[in-house]
Amino acid sequence: MEAATEAVRGRVAYPVLVQDELPKAALLGRFRDEEASCLFATMGFWQGVDVPGPALSMVAIDRVPFPRPDEPLHAARRQRAGRDGFTTVDVPRAATLLAQGAGRLIRSSSDRGVVAVLDRRLASATYRWDLVRALPPMRRTRRREDVTAFFSPRP
């Protein structure tokens, strides 16, 4: 998050807001008020957050949110599942978290935007369709031009 923030901060003309630089409520208030701002935060920050309207038009997810291998509950479940642990424990949990991350974007019937999943595994891994099917119905693309066109002003 910090490396991404620093990479973007010097390249965009928009306010760049970062988790932990302000209290959560103040940060969200500023993000809602400044529609052209960028907010960088971890997935845990977004739990319970509701930002309807044009202030939130893109959610970028840097990697598929698999549980940590050393997290005790999921490690025990994987161990109990044996050889199928990854498929029966990790993939469904990642699918749920990915869908929840995407769900931050569309909060009302008039909301629109882009969910950018930057992890190549979503395009190539054997389990990719388990993840894609968990997402809300939406147009998919791998082309940056499609995203640029989406954000271009409508006639």
pLDDT in tens, the chain (155 residues): 889 999 999 899 999 999 989 999 999 999 999 988 999 998 888 777 888 888 899 999 999 999 888 889 988 999 999 999 999 999 999 999 999 888 888 888 888 899 999 999 999 999 999 999 999 888 999 999 999 999 888 76
Note down the domain range covering 99.
Answer: 58-107+120-143
Single out the residue of 5, 30, 7, 29 nearest to residue 18, CA to CA. 5
- Assigned domain for 45 exists: no
- Assigned domain for 68 exists: yes
- What is the tally of structural domains in the chain? 1
| pLDDT value for 111 | 85
| pLDDT value for 133 | 94
Interatomic CA distance for residues 84 and 135, integer angstroms:
23
- Assigned domain for 103 exists: yes
Give the pTM.
Answer: 0.84
- Assigned domain for 44 exists: no
- Assigned domain for 49 exists: no
What pairs with residue 116 in β-bridges? 60
- Assigned domain for 31 exists: no
| pLDDT value for 47 | 77
- Assigned domain for 40 exists: no
Helices (H), the chain: 2-9, 24-33, 72-81, 85, 91-103, 121-124, 128-134, 144-151
